[in-house]
């Protein structure tokens, strides 16, 4: 795989942003897969700067987020839709009709899941997918045990993921217990993937993803079966690699 190790989190975020900006520059109608969480915040800020400097345009792009909590309205401050609005969408010229996330308030979840997969298929598929990585090796909300051919679906979040996400809510009881997530199979259909990981607490997860055995016990290890994955790491996240 391509493993890019940068001096610090800021440099890694800039490096990842440049990968997205370069693709968007070459292919203005890029279909971009997006992630939420702490990891991409600085990368999105960089993309906003590139947009403000007229280096990139989102006018013809489409974005598809990996996941969304179930039971939070789109305008709930902790919904992933709100996160994307705050970090990226409201600052760039992406057409709101071209910014897709699963609808966590859908009354018919099965229909919503089919709709989301179909939207991705109808767009021609995701060209460049951004991923973060969970401490337990999850990608999107594909927790350990997720099958490599899993598709977009409703999932229960693990205790550890709920606890980790509690920092964004008033209390742990407010953290949603379920999400709609792209599956591993869905993610592996992206033409190219960038996994961004920052900080020493991700070092073990990164090592197992890149150097561990390919196994559902560490879902990110399935990325080893994809032909075009670039890992962008800061030194702390890379420190477990041999």
Neighbours of 225 (CB within 10 A): 11
User: Binding to ligand F6R by residue 63, rule CB under 6 A?
Assistant: no
Residue selected from 36, 103, 186, 221 as contacting ligand F6R according to rule CB under 6 A: 36
Residue selected from 9, 32, 140, 236 as contacting ligand F6R according to rule CB under 6 A: 140
Which residue number, 72 or 139, has a Cβ lying nearer to ligand F6R? 139
Catalytic pick among 112, 143, 165, 234: 143
Residue selected from 46, 62, 67, 194 as contacting ligand F6R according to rule CB under 6 A: 67
Say how far apart CA 115 and CA 169 lie, in whole Å. Answer: 29
- Specify the stretch interacting with ligand F6R by CB under 6 A; choose among 18-26, 30-38, 42-50, 89-97: 30-38
Beta bridge partners, 63, equal 32, 99
User: Binding to ligand F6R by residue 153, rule CB under 6 A?
Assistant: no
Give Cα separations from 160 to 79, 144, 176, 232 (angstroms).
19, 11, 13, 24
User: Binding to ligand F6R by residue 145, rule CB under 6 A?
Assistant: no
Which residue number, 55 or 105, has a Cβ lying nearer to ligand F6R? 105
Beta bridge partners, 100, equal 64
Asked whether 81 and 68 are in contact (CB, 8 A), the reply is yes
Residue selected from 14, 66, 210, 229 as contacting ligand F6R according to rule CB under 6 A: 66
Q: Smallest distance from the beta carbon of 11 to ligand F6R, in angstroms?
A: 17
Asked whether 237 and 199 are in contact (CB, 8 A), the reply is yes
User: Binding to ligand F6R by residue 33, rule CB under 6 A?
Assistant: no
Size of the site for ligand F6R (CB under 6 A): 13
Neighbours of 174 (CB within 10 A): 12
User: Binding to ligand F6R by residue 13, rule CB under 6 A?
Assistant: no
Burial class for 119, CB neighbours closer than 10 Å (0-12, 13-18, 19+) = middle
Complete DSSP assignment for 34-46: E--SSTTHHHHHH
**Taking phi first (over 0 means left), then psi (-120 to 50 degrees means alpha), and beta for anything else, what does residue 125 get?**
left
Say how far apart CA 57 and CA 68 lie, in whole Å. Answer: 25
Q: Smallest distance from the beta carbon of 54 to ligand F6R, in angstroms?
A: 28
Residue selected from 12, 17, 23, 37 as contacting ligand F6R according to rule CB under 6 A: 37
Q: Is 52 a catalytic residue?
A: no
Task: Give catalytic residues, as residue numbers.
Answer: 67, 136, 138, 143
Name the residues that contact ligand F6R, by CB under 6 A.
Answer: 35-39, 66-67, 132-134, 138-140
């Amino acid at each position: 795989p391509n493993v890019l190790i940068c001096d610090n989190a800021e440099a890694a975020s800039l490096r990842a942003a440049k990968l997205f900006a370069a693709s968007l520059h070459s292919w203005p109608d890029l279909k971009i897969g997006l992630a939420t969480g702490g990891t991409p915040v600085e990368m999105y800020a960089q993309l906003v700067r590139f947009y403000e400097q007229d280096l990139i345009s989102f006018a013809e792009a489409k974005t598809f987020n990996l996941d969304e909590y179930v039971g939070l309205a789109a305008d709930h401050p902790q919904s992933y839709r709100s996160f994307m609005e705050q970090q990226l969408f409201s600052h760039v010229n992406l057409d709101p009709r071209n910014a897709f996330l699963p609808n966590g308030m859908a009354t018919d979840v099965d229909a919503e899941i089919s709709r989301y997969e179909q939207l991705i298929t109808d767009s021609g598929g995701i060209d460049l997918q951004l991923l973060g990585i969970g401490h337990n090796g999850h990608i999107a909300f594909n927790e350990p045990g997720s099958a490599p051919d899993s598709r977009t679906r409703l999932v229960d979040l693990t205790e550890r993921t709920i606890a980790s996400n509690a920092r964004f809510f008033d209390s742990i009881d407010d953290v949603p217990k379920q999400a709609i997530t792209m599956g591993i199979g869905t993610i592996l259909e992206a033409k190219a993937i960038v996994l961004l990981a920052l900080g020493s607490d991700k070092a073990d997860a990164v090592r197992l993803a890149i150097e561990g055995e390919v196994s559902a016990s560490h879902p990110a290890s399935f990325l080893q079966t994809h032909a075009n994955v670039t890992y962008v790491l800061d030194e702390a996240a890379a420190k477990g690699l041999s």
